[in-house]
Amino acid sequence: MKKDFHAMADRILIDTNILLYAYDRAEPVKQPKALAVLDRLVTWRIGVLTPQVLAEFFVNATRKLYPRFKEKVHF
């Protein structure tokens, strides 16, 4: 008997890479897949984000994906 994946999963930790691929328009193949994964996790209410994942996403999104966001601090 085939079990529904949703019935088997209590919570799923969302990996930083899924967030980055969902955000990165330079990844035309991976971006829609990542968005579909996130959409499903939200719809099923089983996706979990941790502060560490959010911090990793911020660092990678602002420093690697979009380095132009770096601000110069003038004193």
> How high is the mean pLDDT in each 10-residue block of the chain (75 residues)?
60 97 93 98 96 95 72 55
DSSP bridge partners of 47: 12
Whole-angstrom Cα distance, residue 64 to residue 15?
17
- DSSP letters spanning 37-55: HHHHHHHTT-EE--HHHHH
| pLDDT attached to residue 34 | 98
Whole-angstrom Cα distance, residue 61 to residue 10?
29
| pLDDT attached to residue 70 | 57
| pLDDT attached to residue 1 | 45
| pLDDT attached to residue 62 | 87
